[in-house]
């Protein structure tokens, strides 16, 4: 049957009305003359489009993306197929939307933090303890910013693991700190909630998708209003609630607001909420939307609490190699010589890092431990040294330009089979699943940058004498 405002006298209108998916007819003159109820319901076509060329409409991009069928008699039928499920392409598109919204703010914060470090470095020589404390605090925030951003842009998945809800919320709000600067944020998430179990990257994207959707509804790029985040235990799940005070979604549209293409008058951007629901459902959770308690809208992420069979995921499985993670220190200093010098380490230790400052720092630590250290500025240089002489242990950065630390490990073992399991890898992204898997399978130790030189020295000693 005809749709109000649509011309049912247009010769192709009956074809458009018979299509279940959103559809419209553009005549031979290139103007919109008919559309069906499905197209009107999602706001793609309506009276405002009648008699106009699609390229002149506010949502011209949607018309460009439609499937087109050229008609022999002239004109086109355009169809917007309903997305029945969310797939990898939709997840990637939504992830790109998160980056578009949050990356500029993260870069801004990081520049501020690094600038603060540079400023404090200039004055810290005065010996003012307050300046030193501020330097350490600023550097620590810069490190956390970088690590959060690494997690955000990582596309490889490591599988299910216990995730702290409090940490999940804190990380999401930290990443969105800049666009949230004019939004009043209230958080009530206790540290005593049980961990939930899922792929951490999926949960991170789900929470950020809801958060970015709220930022849009609050007026991004100049978001203003209120945002409330709270979490509570509900049976075998933790309910994480993100509530905004944006315009309330009409009650008639609530059932469809979680669709990949929600109704236009819902006031919510497409894809975000559908992807969030898809990701949490994959791990046994769900997402629902409710009217706000006072005003606005409530989005409830139901996250599955870890079962007893997954409780051991927090540690390494029996028989796997332990992965050491030294305490983070943003201002490593060479430890003072101990009163009694430790026993000299057996054999030479090869240190491979293309950063001169890090490499020389590690060498100095080894010299204080009476260890013979050999320096290599690249993976190729390290392999040349190994071809010439044996070493007791290799300490290598994971990022070596054209060669990764993992690549160096396998090529080194080919030259010196006795080095199997005798590597310490330094990594600024120790959460990388491929690095973690190599450490487990080969019994290697990973040192997360930035590191505490005292603990690094102790770890190298354990590895060298194992």
**Where is the domain boundary, 33, 49, 79?**
79
pLDDT of residue 271: 82
Sign of the dihedral through C-alpha 405, 409, 414, 416? positive
pLDDT of residue 326: 37
Least confidently predicted of 12-21, 94-103, 190-199: 94-103
225 close to 245: Cβ distance less than 8 angstroms:
yes
27 close to 74: Cβ distance less than 8 angstroms:
yes
- Please report, for the domain that includes residue 432, its CATH number: 3.40.50.2300
Euclidean distance between CA atoms 52 and 34, whole angstroms: 11
pLDDT of residue 333: 40
pLDDT of residue 130: 67
436 close to 323: Cβ distance less than 8 angstroms:
yes
Q: Looking at the structure, tell me whether residues 187 and 239 fall in a common domain.
A: yes
CB-CB neighbours of 37 under 10 Å = 15
Dump pLDDT digits (tens) for 354-409. 877 678 778 888 887 778 889 999 999 999 999 999 999 999 988 887 788 999 99
Q: Looking at the structure, tell me whether residues 212 and 189 fall in a common domain.
A: yes
Q: How confident is the model at residue 257 (pLDDT cuts 50, 70, 90)?
A: confident
Q: Looking at the structure, tell me whether residues 416 and 451 fall in a common domain.
A: yes
pLDDT of residue 320: 33
302 close to 287: Cβ distance less than 8 angstroms:
yes
Q: Looking at the structure, tell me whether residues 366 and 407 fall in a common domain.
A: yes
Q: Looking at the structure, tell me whether residues 304 and 178 fall in a common domain.
A: yes
Q: How confident is the model at residue 11 (pLDDT cuts 50, 70, 90)?
A: low
Instruction: Give Cβ neighbours of residue 87 (< 8 Å, ≥ 6 apart).
Output: none
Q: Looking at the structure, tell me whether residues 381 and 416 fall in a common domain.
A: yes
Q: Domain for residue 315, yes or no?
A: no
Q: Domain for residue 84, yes or no?
A: no
Over the Cα atoms of the chain, what is R_g? 29
Q: For residue 445, what are its two tokens?
A: 């130790």
Euclidean distance between CA atoms 237 and 193, whole angstroms: 10
Euclidean distance between CA atoms 76 and 54, whole angstroms: 12
Euclidean distance between CA atoms 60 and 44, whole angstroms: 9
Q: Looking at the structure, tell me whether residues 63 and 127 fall in a common domain.
A: no
Mean pLDDT score of the chain, rounded to an integer?
79
Q: Domain for residue 290, yes or no?
A: yes
Residue the block writes with tokens 């890090």 = 358
Q: For residue 185, what are its two tokens?
A: 């944020």
Q: Looking at the structure, tell me whether residues 257 and 397 fall in a common domain.
A: no
Q: Looking at the structure, tell me whether residues 239 and 164 fall in a common domain.
A: yes
Q: Looking at the structure, tell me whether residues 277 and 355 fall in a common domain.
A: no
Q: Which domain holds residue 412?
A: 322-331+340-465
Q: Domain for residue 373, yes or no?
A: yes
Euclidean distance between CA atoms 370 and 378, whole angstroms: 24
Higher local confidence (pLDDT), 147 or 228: 228
Q: Looking at the structure, tell me whether residues 57 and 127 fall in a common domain.
A: no
In the chain, % of residues over pLDDT 90:
35
Q: Domain for residue 6, yes or no?
A: no
Task: Count how many domains the chain has.
Answer: 3
Euclidean distance between CA atoms 399 and 350, whole angstroms: 16
Q: Domain for residue 7, yes or no?
A: no
- Please report, for the domain that includes residue 209, its CATH number: 3.30.565.10
| Residue-wise burial string across 412-451, b where 16 or more C-beta atoms lie within 10 A, e elsewhere | bbeebeebeebbbbbbeebbbeebbebbbebbbbbbbbbb
Backbone torsions φ then ψ of 79, nearest 5 degrees:
-130, 140
200 close to 432: Cβ distance less than 8 angstroms:
no
**Where is the domain boundary, 28, 52, 79?**
79
Dump pLDDT digits (tens) for 100-158. 778 767 765 665 566 556 555 555 555 567 666 666 776 777 777 777 776 666 656 66
Q: Domain for residue 5, yes or no?
A: no
Closest C-alpha among 62, 42, 90 to residue 275: 90
3-state secondary structure the chain: CCCCCCCCCCCCHHHHHHCCCCEEEECCCCCEEEECHHHHHCCCCCHHHECCCHHHCCCHHHHHCCEEEECCCCCEEEECCCCCCCCHHHHHHHHHHHHHHHHHHHHHHHHHHHHHHHHHHHHHHHCCHHHHHHHHHHHHHHHHHHHHHHHHHCCCCCCCEEECHHHHHHHHHHHCCCCCCCEEEEEECCCCCCCEEECHHHHHHHHHHHHHHHHHHCCCCCCCEEEEEEEEEECCEEEEEEEECCCCCCHHHHHHCCCCCCCHHHCCCCCHHHHHHHHHHHCCCEEEEEECCCCCEEEEEEEEECCHHHHHHHCCCCCCCCCCCCCCCCCCCCCCCCCCCCCCCCCEEEEECCCHHHHHHHHHHHHHCCCEEEEECCHHHHHHHHHHCCCCEEEEECEECCEEHHHHHHHHHHHCHHHCCCEEEEECCCCCHHHHHHHHHHCCEEEECCCCHHHHHHHHHHHHHC
Dump pLDDT digits (tens) for 23-74. 999 999 999 999 988 888 777 888 889 999 999 998 887 888 788 999 888 8
53 close to 68: Cβ distance less than 8 angstroms:
no
**Where is the domain boundary, 33, 60, 79?**
79
Euclidean distance between CA atoms 460 and 369, whole angstroms: 10
Q: Looking at the structure, tell me whether residues 52 and 100 fall in a common domain.
A: no
Least confidently predicted of 221-235, 248-262, 308-322: 308-322
Q: Please determine, for residue 316, whether its predicted confidence score (pLDDT) is greater than 90.
A: no
């Amino acid at each position: 049957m005809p749709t109000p405002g649509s011309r049912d006298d247009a010769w192709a209108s009956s074809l458009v009305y018979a299509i279940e998916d959103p559809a419209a007819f553009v005549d031979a003159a290139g103007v919109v003359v008919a559309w069906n109820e499905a197209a009107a319901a999602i706001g793609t076509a309506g009276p405002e489009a009648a008699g106009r060329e699609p390229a002149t409409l506010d949502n011209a991009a949607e018309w460009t993306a439609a499937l087109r069928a050229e008609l022999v008699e002239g004109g086109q039928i355009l169809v917007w197929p309903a997305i029945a499920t969310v797939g990898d392409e939709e997840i990637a598109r939504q992830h790109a939307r998160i980056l578009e919204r949050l990356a500029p703010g993260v870069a801004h914060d990081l520049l501020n933090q690094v600038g603060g470090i540079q400023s404090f470095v200039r004055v810290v020589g005065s010996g003012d303890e307050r300046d030193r404390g501020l330097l350490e605090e600023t550097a620590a925030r810069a490190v956390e910013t970088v690590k959060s951003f690494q997690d955000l842009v990582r596309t490889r998945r490591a599988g299910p693991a216990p995730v702290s809800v409090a940490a999940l919320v804190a990380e999401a709000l930290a990443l969105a700190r800049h666009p949230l600067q004019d939004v009043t944020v209230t958080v009530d998430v206790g540290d005593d909630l049980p961990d939930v179990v899922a792929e951490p990257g999926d949960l991170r994207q789900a929470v950020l998708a809801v958060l970015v959707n709220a930022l849009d509804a609050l007026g991004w790029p100049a978001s203003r209003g209120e945002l409330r985040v709270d979490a509570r235990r509900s049976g075998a799940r933790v309910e994480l609630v993100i509530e905004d005070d944006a315009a309330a979604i009409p009650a008639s549209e609530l059932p469809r607001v979680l669709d990949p293409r929600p109704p236009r008058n819902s006031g919510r951007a497409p894809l975000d909420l559908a992807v969030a629901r898809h990701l949490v459902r994959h791990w046994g959770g769900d997402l629902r939307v409710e009217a706000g308690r006072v005003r606005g809208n409530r989005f409830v992420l139901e996250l599955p609490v870890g079962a007893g069979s997954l409780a051991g995921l927090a540690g390494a499985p029996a028989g796997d190699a332990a992965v050491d993670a030294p305490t983070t220190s943003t201002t490593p200093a060479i430890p003072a010589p101990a009163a009694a010098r430790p026993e000299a380490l057996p054999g030479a230790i090869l240190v491979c890092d293309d950063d001169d400052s890090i490499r020389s720092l590690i060498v100095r630590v080894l010299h204080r431990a009476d260890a013979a250290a050999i320096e290599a500025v690249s993976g190729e240089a390290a392999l040349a040294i190994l071809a010439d002489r044996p070493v007791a242990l290799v300490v290598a950065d994971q990022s070596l330009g054209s060669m990764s630390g993992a690549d160096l490990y396998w090529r080194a073992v080919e030259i010196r089979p006795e080095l199997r399991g005798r590597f310490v890898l330094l990594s600024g992204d120790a959460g990388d699943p491929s690095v973690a898997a190599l450490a487990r399978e080969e019994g290697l130790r990973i040192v997360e940058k930035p590191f505490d030189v005292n603990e690094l020295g102790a770890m190298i000693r354990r590895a060298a004498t194992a």
